Structure 1
């Protein structure tokens, strides 16, 4: 999982800038509506936390540390509505973050469905947009 700092930065940014569907963050309480409706399940994963410089000083904190991670935006749409609506939401979400600097985070490579094809869960179809990010400390 990512650091608290990275998680909070992403959560606050998405919450302030996305209104097309509800956002559901990891382990948040969310009751599915009686009639399936689109929402985005957000996962924020930290992949590595590496020392990115050497010789910055005597203390560990004198060097640059870089946290790398992945933002997964699982777009959920009602089953049987095709993949188009999910792709449109994925495009819009990627436009919000890919290539941007938000707080201490820099968002880089982005993909729709990279290694994770669309899939069906009961009354929902899921398509995932993913974005690599890093945070320097």
Structure 2
């Protein structure tokens, strides 16, 4: 069976928020064919992971009922390390997700390192009545 999920390197979870540090290995099946000369993680996979980890870490239930404010800004490449931040707003049935990573500076100074946002958005999860 082919690998479909990244390795969790660290996680911090509280009532309505989870922050996961993920290693996105090059052998994840979703990189195959997307694209041959420049593999990148498909947006649909990023959304699937956000829902998967929200269900696992925040014990969320409910059916997918749409998205908004979806932005893909920087590709997630094989063998990268990203931070996935998940914030649940129960009053809105809304899950905000954001994938970021730290970009090293030429000087290697951690304090001057910049954060890149790879993708963000809101996912509606509604429990059937």
Q: Does TM, normalized by the shorter one, top 0.5? A: no
- Bigger radius of gyration among the two: 1
- Name the TM-score, length of structure 2 as normaliser: 0.32
